[in-house]
Structure 1
Amino acid sequence: MRLTLLIFCLWVALVLGQLPPKIEKCEAGDSICVAETITRILRTYPKGLASIGLDALDSISFENVIVSRKEPDGPATLDLLFNNVTVRGFADSTVAEAKGFEADLPRVLELSGWIPLLKLDGFYEMHGSLLTMPIQGRGHALVEIKECRFRCKVRAVEQLRGDGKRYAEIAKVKCLLDVQGMHLNFENLFNNSELSDAMNDVANAKWLKIWHTLRKGITSAVDQLVESILKRVANKLPYDDFYRN
């Protein structure tokens, strides 16, 4: 998760922070350079960039992510909460396209690309029905998302501060996610190992239906996490310090 959490943290590092000498700055409007530079940062700094407040990219932890909530009169039939989740795989991301990276801060910035494999490792609580079958459990979970493709849009507002520099005030983040495969392993379903194994087998055989069921909640959680990180970093680092003079 938080595929976009990593990508946009890197974007903020690139656009708002002081790049290390080994990372060449881009000309304003050079979308190819921006995409390649963000990808290069992903590869070069999997442990993060402390100078700009960017945390490690190869392992991101967070708590209390609501993936699905039952709706009395709606289509959602499952309560699913993740606790103490660690996400791995963002450091292998590729940014294929970058739009809106001009000298004058636009209202909308966009990044598109893919992540070969995302792993979500943590603890879950689940109750309700899935694939029309009753389901409940609490315990360890491992979710592997294969070939996760993303397109994220960030709405930003220019803010001129007392230091004479412009900052990007992040107003909203919205991402679209699509995947080419998913493998699930929820332990302790029904407090019975045999039933748990059987339910996991059914879910993995019908992974695409599971993804469509959970995609809205996963994407919403990603949006909130990305927005939170962007706001903290953008508040500290000026937009004006990005492009090549």
Structure 2
Amino acid sequence: MRSLAYVAISVQLFVGLQCQSLPAKVKKCHYGDGKCLVESANALLRNFPKGIPEVNLKPFNVLPVRDWLLVNDSQVGGAWYFFELLNQINYGFENTTITEIRGFDKDPTATRIEIHGKIPRLVYKGDYLAKGRMLWFVDINSHGTSESDFLNFRFDLTLKVRIEYRNNKRYLKIYELVPNIRLDRWIMWLDNFFPDNEDLTIAINNLFNRNWVEFWNELEPGILSLFETVFLSLFEDLFEKVPYDDLFLADEDSK
């Protein structure tokens, strides 16, 4: 009998650890109520910039970003480039304003899920590693600190999801997230780009910032892939921890 009690207690503890609920102060909405979801999401962003540890919602005022290989040309010929971002930290998500949410119906797989928003300033700080050859005679072999400022950053996210059942609860699983990004300005600074020539380092940074649109157009696929991982990291842990139906009001609830 005692062994059976231990088993029952262990099962209850396991289920409790695997199935968490949002704090009561987080406003819940009815399924598919886009207006309410926008209000609730913006209140969460304002009130919980350091995340909600009990449901695995990560801090979004300071967000670590995985190392990312942005450019990796074949190292042949007179011009090639390798550029990797390392130890990056993202600042600014706490100032996000969600402008529209679509989907999140009772059957979340029945309609497309969209999240639209804007951030006045999104900043990446960290390290970089650069190698390459320019114009057949300038070799690049540098590493140092980097900083990127994305000004008036707007994003549209499209999510494809499926449902997983655990402990008789429905959990949301994202299998595709497609970001679309627009911005007014990209400012980047790479310190120590030419270690032995500070004037040339300043010149190459100024060249980049004068022609940032061309660089953005060239690098956009890699940047979008990086932001895909960033947005996924914000959502995945929450959806993994909290049952989908616990995020919303029951049909009979009025508030």
TM range (shorter): 0.7 to 0.9
State which of 123, 127, 134 in structure 1 corresponds to 2:131: 127
Q: Does 1:171 align with 2:209?
A: no
What is the match of residue 20 of structure 1? Answer: 23
Secondary structure of 2:241's counterpart equals coil
Question: Counterpart amino acid of 2:162?
Answer: V
What is the match of residue 158 of structure 2? Answer: 153
Q: 1:25-174, aligned counterparts within 5 Å?
A: 25-70=28-73, 78-106=81-109, 108-128=112-132, 136=140, 137-161=142-166, 163-174=167-178
What is the match of residue 238 of structure 1? Answer: 243
State which of 198, 219, 222 in structure 2 corresponds to 1:214: 219
| Distance apart, 1:216 and its partner CA | 1.1
| Distance apart, 1:231 and its partner CA | 3.8
Any stretches of 5+ residues in structure 2 without a counterpart?
1-18, 251-255
Q: Distance in 1 between matches of 2:30 and 2:233?
A: 28
* Pairs aligned (count): 227
Instruction: Mark the CA change 1:169 to 1:128 in structure 2 (over 3 Å): closer, same or farther.
Output: same
Q: Distance in 2 between matches of 1:129 and 1:47?
A: 43
Instruction: Mark the CA change 1:17 to 1:204 in structure 2 (over 3 Å): closer, same or farther.
Output: farther
Instruction: Mark the CA change 1:123 to 1:133 in structure 2 (over 3 Å): closer, same or farther.
Output: farther
Deviations 1:159-190 (A, max 9, x none): 222x2211112211111111110111101112
Deviations 1:95-140 (A, max 9, x none): 1011112122225311011111011110001233689996733101
Q: Higher relative contact order by CA 8 Å / sep ≥ 6: 1 or 2?
A: 1
Q: Distance in 2 between matches of 1:131 and 1:202?
A: 16
Q: Distance in 2 between matches of 1:216 and 1:78?
A: 16
Q: Distance in 2 between matches of 1:170 and 1:130?
A: 41
| Distance apart, 1:49 and its partner CA | 0.7
Q: Distance in 2 between matches of 1:135 and 1:103?
A: 57
Q: Distance in 1 between matches of 2:126 and 2:155?
A: 23
TM-score (norm 2): 0.80
Bigger radius of gyration, 1 or 2? Answer: 2
Instruction: Mark the CA change 1:48 to 1:126 in structure 2 (over 3 Å): closer, same or farther.
Output: same
Q: Does 1:185 align with 2:150?
A: no
| Distance apart, 1:156 and its partner CA | 0.6
Q: Distance in 2 between matches of 1:31 and 1:99?
A: 6
Query: Which 4+ runs in 1 deviate beyond 4 A?
Result: 129-135
RMSD in angstroms over aligned alpha carbons? Answer: 2.6
| Aligned residues of 2:65 and 2:230 also touching (Cα < 8 A) | no
Instruction: Mark the CA change 1:155 to 1:196 in structure 2 (over 3 Å): closer, same or farther.
Output: same
Q: Distance in 2 between matches of 1:139 and 1:84?
A: 11
TM-score (norm 1): 0.83
